[in-house]
Amino acid sequence: MGQTIAEKIFSRACGRPVKEGDIIYPEPDLVTTHDWYVVNFDKVLQELGIERLHAPHKLLISTDHEPVATSPLAAQRQRQVREIVRKYGIEHFYDVGRGGHGHVFPMEKGFVRPGMLVIAYDIHVTNYGALGCMGIPVVTEISEVLACGNVWLKVPHTVRINLVGQLGPGITIRDVAQKMISLIDVDAADYAAFEIGGPGLASVDFSGRQVLCNTPIEIGAKTAFIEPDQQTLDYLQTRTSEPIELIKSDPDARFHTVIEIDLGLVEPQVAVPPTPDKVVGVSQLVGKKIDHAFLGSCAAPGISDLAMAARILKGKKIHESVRFFVTPSTYEVMSEATVLGYIQILVDAGASITAPGCGVCAGGKIGTMADGEVSINTGTRNDFGRLGAMNSEIYLASAATVAASALVGAITDPRPYLID
């Protein structure tokens, strides 16, 4: 019996062949965490009597959840993070202004390659799957990884997603990603590795590939990744000098579930509260008034999202009843968007541009919501209270749907604004 991509990556990380269901202790190639958990893991390590990390050279820390300290307490936490970085001799620390979103910029900087295993604190490390890397979140068990070098995992079963066809006019890959997680049976998704490929993948840009890998975690998947291809090589060509292998599942590999999605049959999708997989077509919500809009997060990671919003809003003004926050994912994305004029278009339309990172999606720091308010945004989650008041509603959608809705002041089908 052949191996899936997940089994191959874990076999390499374990130094021996493994199969679905095995309990293993794999050695990661990279470990990541962010500013909101550094103080916590240091406290755990101190309680355990750990004075040095197992492999400090493998750890990457990003200041992305709160790149702008909004209180003395936040400023003190940032200072503690810098002290902890120095104490443990951590080389890969990307502080304020130096990287952006930790689920995005490490790919820009060549830290991530096909076939790698990354173990992380935060669940949306699955974005790295856009390059054929397997990102595994372990949440608070990251302390054990930092102390011992690994933690036990089970080799997941694989759900194979085959994309066919082409996106229709005005449809984005975010619409496909939201539709995808609404189609998968909960039992099939639980602790699964989502392997995404098929002929339709060739038309999906790098930003869209991140989005496809971002969403499955919300329905219980353990990880998600793209079957790497020529586009993977093209993206990494100037970003790393390390050897790159386009790892694929064997022809006789065993998949738990195989699903085909025709890109041409998807309409704009909106996730209604309180979960990201509770998805309906935008036509069912057109006209619902909004107070708040947000474009950003690791689920809207690339320049194409800003380009889409700029196309819709060029020469126009955001509705007077809406406050619209825009957070470029990384400094590389913000720089490109500035050069291309997208930032100026969004500012002229009335958007508030925030520092690269998680932005509003981190919850509770900037762009919060009051009781009775409604938001449409490109964030990752829409549970009640995620962005402030419990008595508020969050709808998740593509950058196109968010921008069109901010323009109109109500949830809106973006296609009339995108089809020439």
Same domain for 31 and 172? yes
Same domain for 116 and 259? yes
Peptide bond into 274 cis (omega under 30): yes
Final residue belonging to a domain, choices 248, 263, 278? 263
pTM here? 0.97
Same domain for 91 and 237? yes
Burial class for 212, CB neighbours closer than 10 Å (0-12, 13-18, 19+): buried
Looking up residue 365, the CATH number of its domain turns out to be: 3.30.499.10
Same domain for 93 and 226? yes
For the chain, the 3-state helix, strand and coil shares in percent, each to the nearest 5, are 35, 20, 45
Count of domains forming the chain: 2
Closest CA to 332 of 160, 132, 101: 101
pLDDT at 223: 98
Backbone angles phi and psi of 212, in degrees to 5 = -60, -35
Same domain for 285 and 143? no
Compute the residue count for the chain: 420
Final residue belonging to a domain, choices 226, 244, 263? 263
Backbone angles phi and psi of 193, in degrees to 5 = -100, 120
23 Cβ contact partners less than 8 Å away, ≥ 6 residues apart: 152, 153, 154
Same domain for 153 and 279? no
Structure token digits, residue 409:
């002041």
42 sits in which H/E element:
helix 38-47
pLDDT at 373: 98
Backbone angles phi and psi of 398, in degrees to 5 = -75, 165
Cα atoms found within 13 Å of the Cα of residue 322, Cβ hemisphere only = 29
Helix (H, G, I), strand (E, B) or coil at 191: coil
Same domain for 222 and 371? no
**CA distances from residue 314 to 32, 409, 414 in whole angstroms, order as listed:** 38, 16, 14
Residue with tokens 């919300």: 218
Could you count the other beta carbons within 10 Å of the beta carbon of residue 257?
16
The low-confidence residues of the chain, meaning pLDDT below 50, are none
**CA distances from residue 247 to 35, 124, 224, 261 in whole angstroms, order as listed:** 32, 22, 14, 22
Same domain for 182 and 321? no
DSSP code of residue 104: T
* Beta bridge pairs of residue 323: 292
**CA distances from residue 341 to 93, 166, 307, 348 in whole angstroms, order as listed:** 30, 28, 9, 11
72 Cβ contact partners less than 8 Å away, ≥ 6 residues apart: none
Same domain for 290 and 242? no
Same domain for 214 and 345? no
Tens of pLDDT, residues 72-126: 999 999 999 999 999 999 999 999 999 999 999 999 999 999 999 999 999 999 9
Same domain for 23 and 136? yes
Closest CA to 399 of 412, 387, 388, 385: 412
Pair 31, 137: CB distance under 8 Å = no
pLDDT at 364: 66
Distance CA 31, CA 378 (A): 26
Tens of pLDDT, residues 201-249: 999 999 999 999 999 999 999 999 999 999 999 999 999 999 999 999 9
Same domain for 251 and 360? no
Structure token digits, residue 256:
């738990």
Final residue belonging to a domain, choices 263, 297, 330? 263
Distance CA 174, CA 305 (A): 10
Note down the domain range covering 355. 268-418
**CA distances from residue 372 to 57, 226, 277, 319 in whole angstroms, order as listed:** 47, 39, 23, 18
How many Å is the maximal CA-CA distance in the chain? Answer: 64
* Beta bridge pairs of residue 194: 159, 224
Closest CA to 259 of 172, 164, 398: 164
Could you count the other beta carbons within 10 Å of the beta carbon of residue 260?
12
